Structure 1
Amino acid sequence: MHTCIQPEGPFATLPKELYIIISDFLDNADLNSFSRSHTTAYTLLNATLYKRDAASPTPIALFWASIHNNPATILKSLSAGTDITSKTDIDTRLRGCTSILLASFHNSLAVLKILLLDENANPNFRDRKWIRPPLSWAVKEGHAEIVQALLNDDRTDVNLQDKAGDTALMIAVNSRPRMMEILLSSGRADPRVANRQGWTPLGRAARDPNAEAGLLLARHLRLILDGNDEADHCQHVFFYAAILGHVDIVQYLVQYFGGKLDPNANGQQFGRGAFSIAAGNGRVDVVRLLLDWSVTEPNLQTQWKRQTPLFVAAEDGREDIVEVLIECERVGLDIPDMHGTTPLGIAADKNHVGIVRRLLGASRPVDPNACDENGQTPLLNAAFHGNLEIVQLLLDAAGIDPQLRNSEGETPLEVASQNGNQSVVQALQKHLTNES
Structure 2
Amino acid sequence: MSEDDNDCKNALHWACKGGHESMWECVLKQYGKSIRRVKIRLLIDAAFGGKKDLCEFLICIGANASGHIKGNSVLHFAVLGGDMNVVKYLLSQDNIDINCWGEAGMTPLMTSAMHGRRELFDFLVRMGANVSLVDDGGDNILHYASAYDESEIVRYIISEHIVDINSRGENGTTPLMTAAFHGHIAVLDLLVRNGGRTDIVDDNGRNILHWASSGGHLKTVKHILSQRLADINARDNNGETAAMIAKRERKSKVFQFLVSKGCLVK
Normalising by structure 2, we get a TM-score of 0.64
SS of residue paired to 1:233: coil
What is the Cα deviation at residue 341 of structure 1? 4.4
Q: Percent identity?
A: 15
1:105 maps to what in 2?
28
CA separation of 1:130 and 1:245: change in aligned 2, threshold 3 A: same
1:225 maps to what in 2?
125
Confirm whether residue 254 of structure 1 aligns to residue 145 of structure 2: no
1:348-387 matches, within 5 Å, as 350=252, 352-356=255-259, 360=261, 368=262, 376=266
2:230 maps to what in 1?
331
Q: Select the residue among 187, 198, 203 that pairs with 1:298.
A: 198
1:117 maps to what in 2?
none
Amino acid at match of 2:189: R
Q: Give, in whole Å, the separation in 2 of the partners of 1:318 and 1:163.
A: 36
1:425 maps to what in 2?
none
Given that 1:313 and 1:321 are in contact with CA atoms closer than 8 Å, whether structure 2 keeps it comes out as yes
What is the Cα deviation at residue 229 of structure 1? 5.7
CA separation of 1:293 and 1:324: change in aligned 2, threshold 3 A: farther
1:179-258 matches, within 5 Å, as 180-184=83-87, 187-190=88-91, 192-195=98-101, 199-207=106-114, 214-215=115-116, 217-228=117-128, 230-233=130-133, 236-258=140-162
Given that 1:202 and 1:224 are in contact with CA atoms closer than 8 Å, whether structure 2 keeps it comes out as yes
CA separation of 1:163 and 1:239: change in aligned 2, threshold 3 A: closer
Q: Give, in whole Å, the separation in 1 of the partners of 2:27 and 2:43.
A: 7
CA separation of 1:172 and 1:322: change in aligned 2, threshold 3 A: same
Q: Give, in whole Å, the separation in 2 of the partners of 1:168 and 1:103.
A: 24
CA separation of 1:245 and 1:179: change in aligned 2, threshold 3 A: closer
Given that 1:319 and 1:355 are in contact with CA atoms closer than 8 Å, whether structure 2 keeps it comes out as no
SS of residue paired to 1:331: coil
1:33-432 matches, within 5 Å, as 84-88=17-21, 99=23, 102=25, 105-107=28-30, 130=38, 132=40, 136=44, 138-139=46-47, 142=49, 146-148=51-53, 160-162=65-67, 168-173=74-79, 177-178=80-81, 180-184=83-87, 187-190=88-91, 192-195=98-101, 199-207=106-114, 214-215=115-116, 217-228=117-128, 230-233=130-133, 236-258=140-162, 260-267=163-170, 270-294=171-195, 296-304=196-204, 306-314=205-213, 316-343=215-242, 350=252, 352-356=255-259, 360=261, 368=262, 376=266
Q: Give, in whole Å, the separation in 2 of the partners of 1:308 and 1:161.
A: 41
CA separation of 1:243 and 1:180: change in aligned 2, threshold 3 A: same
CA separation of 1:162 and 1:128: change in aligned 2, threshold 3 A: farther
Normalising by structure 1, we get a TM-score of 0.43
CA separation of 1:132 and 1:83: change in aligned 2, threshold 3 A: closer
Given that 2:101 and 2:107 are in contact with CA atoms closer than 8 Å, whether structure 1 keeps it comes out as yes
CA separation of 1:136 and 1:245: change in aligned 2, threshold 3 A: same
1:12-31 matches, within 5 Å, as none
Give the greater-gyration-radius structure (CA).
Answer: 1
Given that 2:181 and 2:213 are in contact with CA atoms closer than 8 Å, whether structure 1 keeps it comes out as no
2:5 maps to what in 1?
none
Given that 1:307 and 1:338 are in contact with CA atoms closer than 8 Å, whether structure 2 keeps it comes out as yes
Structure 2 alignment gaps of length 5 or more? 2-9, 92-96
Amino acid at match of 2:210: F
Q: Give, in whole Å, the separation in 2 of the partners of 1:171 and 1:104.
A: 23
Q: Give, in whole Å, the separation in 2 of the partners of 1:189 and 1:285.
A: 35
Two-structure CA RMSD over aligned residues (Å): 4.6
What is the Cα deviation at residue 189 of structure 1? 4.7
Structure 1 alignment gaps of length 5 or more? 1-65, 67-73, 91-98, 110-126, 208-213, 361-367, 377-436
1:55-98 alpha-carbon deviations (Å, 9 max, x no partner): xxxxxxxxxxx9xxxxxxx99xx8xxx9944243x6xxxxxxxx
CA separation of 1:104 and 1:195: change in aligned 2, threshold 3 A: farther
Q: Structure with the greater relative contact order (CA < 8 A, sep ≥ 6): 1 or 2?
A: 2
